[in-house]
Amino acid sequence: MAIMCALKLVAMPAVAAVLAFYVLALPPISAAVVVLFAAMPTGANAYIFSAQYGRLNEAVSGAVALGTVLAAVTLPVIVAFVTVALR
């Protein structure tokens, strides 16, 4: 679960930043929005699908809860990065 949250909250925004700012060369505001969306924690939809199909309910609910708590730490850092990138 920790690896899944780390990939979602750190690796995914990093990959999105490289793609948005350098590979696709999006306008700065658009690239910032892409990075911020990628940095959002796993949503409740993942749990709804998990419950609907009866698979990995505990793991997914834990990942949603842990990801939301950890996002309180990672999101301010990513917002600061995006703010610097926009200057």
**Predicted TM-score of the model (pTM):** 0.83
Contacts with 42 (C-beta within 8 Å, 6 or more apart), sequence order: 5, 8, 63, 64, 67, 68
Read off the pLDDT of residues 38-67 as tens digits, 9 standing for 90 and up.
Answer: 999 888 888 899 999 988 888 888 888 999
Mean pLDDT of 1-20: 91
Which pLDDT does position 37 carry in this prediction?
A: 94
Six-digit token pair at 76?
A: 């301010």
Helix axes 57-86, 44-53, angle to 10 degrees: 160
Read off the pLDDT of residues 18-36 as tens digits, 9 standing for 90 and up.
Answer: 999 999 999 999 999 999 9
**Domain residues of the chain, as ranges?**
2-86
Read off the pLDDT of residues 66-81 as tens digits, 9 standing for 90 and up.
Answer: 999 999 999 999 999 9
Instruction: Quickly count: other Cβ atoms within 10 Å of residue 42's Cβ.
Output: 19
CA 57 → CA 5, 13, 49, distances in Å?
Answer: 16, 25, 9
First to last CA, the chain: 36
Where does the pLDDT of residue 4 fall: very low under 50, low under 70, confident under 90, or very high at 90 and above?
A: confident
